[in-house]
Amino acid sequence: MKTYTYPSVLAIAGFDGSGGAGIQADIKTISALGCYATTVLTALPVQNTQGVRNIYPISVEAVGKQIEAIMDDIMPAAIKIGMVHTPKLVATITKTLEKYPKIPIVFDPVMVATSGHRLIEEATIAALSKQLLPIATIITPNMDEAALLANMEVKTLEDMRIAGEYILGMGSKSVLMKGGHQETERITSLFFDLNEGCVPFESTKIRTNNTHGSGCSLSSAIATYLAQGETLINAVASGQSYVHDAIDHGKNVRTGKGNGPLNHFFNPKKMIKYEMDRTDLEKNR
C-alpha cells in the first residue's frame, strides 16, 4: 500500500471565534489550497465581525511548547506568522524558529484590525523589527501596518514605495505592501525584493464589506504556495489571485453585522447560493 504526504503549513497566529480571520482563516486557506494545516495559538482575542472586544494572552511558555511539539512531529514546508502581541512572545518565537533557517516564513504583522482597533504596542513593534523581521522570508503589511513600522503616514502609492523600501531595509528578505485600503477603482500592491526590485501587482477593487481576514488569508496562501514549491514571486502572485477571487465570491454573502469573511472554499463551477429575503434574514439574526 502506497503512503502519501501532503506538504504542511504551520500557522502561528491568534484566534477568531467568528471564523473569518486569525488561525481559523489560516486553516481554511491552507486546506482550500491543498496543504495540511497545523497551528500554534498565540493569543485569544474576543472578537466578531464588528471588532475586537478584548485579548486574553496565551503564556509564552505554552506558545514555545506548541511550536516544539509540531516541529518534532509534522515538520512544515512553510510557516505563516500572524498575531504576535508582546516582546516576550516575539523573542520566544524567534528563538525557536531560528533553528530551522531553510523553512520559508511569511510574516503578516497583525497590528490593526479591519475595524481600526490597534492590536499592538510600541515595545512589540520594536521587538518585531529587531528580531522577527530578519528571519522572515517575506513580510506582508497593509498600509496602516506599514505606517506603524516605518513611522510615517502611508496614504498614497508613493508613500507605499517609500515605506516598503524602508521596511525592506529593516532586515526582511522581501516585502509585500498591500494596497487593499486604496479607494481607487484599481488597487496596486507593491512587492519589494533585493533581487526583483519593486514589482507592482494591480487588481480591480471589489466593493464589499466582506474583507474580514483578508490579510490572514493572503499570508497563509503565500505560505501554502511556497510549501508547494512555487518561487516567492509566483507565490505572491498566486496568493493575491486566490484572495481576490475569495473576496469576489463572498462579496454578497451576509455573515454577521460587521465586516464579513471571505469565501475561502469558493468553487466557481459549484457555487451554492443561499437566497433569503430580508425578512427571513432578519428573523435568523
* Total Cβ atoms within 10 A of residue 256: 17
Per-residue pLDDT 10s for the chain (285 aa) are: 777 778 999 999 999 999 999 999 999 999 999 999 999 999 998 999 988 888 898 999 999 999 999 999 999 999 999 989 899 999 999 999 999 999 999 999 988 765 566 667 788 888 998 999 999 999 999 999 999 899 899 999 999 999 999 999 988 899 999 988 787 889 999 999 988 889 999 999 999 999 999 999 999 999 999 999 999 999 999 999 999 999 999 999 889 899 999 999 996 444 334 333 334 434 433
pLDDT at 154: 93
**Chain centre to alpha carbon of residue 244:** 14
Task: Please say whether the beta carbons of 26 and 13 come within 8 A.
Answer: yes
3-state secondary structure of 249: coil
pLDDT at 143: 92
pLDDT at 281: 37
Cell of 201: 501587482
Cell of 283: 428573523
The string of pLDDT tens digits covering residues 129-148 is 899 999 999 999 999 999 98
Pairing of strands 197-204, 186-193: antiparallel
User: Quick check: is 134 in a domain?
Assistant: yes
- 67/35 Cα distance (integer angstroms): 18
- Supply the DSSP symbol for 260: P
User: Quick check: is 100 in a domain?
Assistant: yes
Longest dimension (CA), the chain: 59
Structural domains counted in the chain? 1
Identify which of 85, 79, 191, 179 has the alpha carbon closest to the alpha carbon of residue 136. Answer: 79
The length of the chain is 285
Identify which of 240, 238, 208, 228 has the alpha carbon closest to the alpha carbon of residue 140. Answer: 240
User: Quick check: is 271 in a domain?
Assistant: yes
pLDDT at 272: 38
- 275/153 Cα distance (integer angstroms): 42
Task: Give the end-to-end CA distance of the chain in Å, rounded to a whole number.
Answer: 50
The string of pLDDT tens digits covering residues 196-248 is 889 999 999 999 999 999 999 999 999 999 999 999 999 999 999 999 999 99
User: Quick check: is 54 in a domain?
Assistant: yes
- 31/193 Cα distance (integer angstroms): 28
pTM to 2 decimal places: 0.90
- 13/6 Cα distance (integer angstroms): 21
CATH number at residue 33: 3.40.1190.20
User: Quick check: is 2 in a domain?
Assistant: no
Neighbouring C-alpha atoms within 13 Å toward the C-beta of 173: 12
pLDDT at 195: 83
User: Quick check: is 1 in a domain?
Assistant: no
User: Quick check: is 3 in a domain?
Assistant: no
Could you list the residue range(s) of the whole structural domain that residue 260 is in?
8-283
User: Quick check: is 275 in a domain?
Assistant: yes
pLDDT at 117: 62
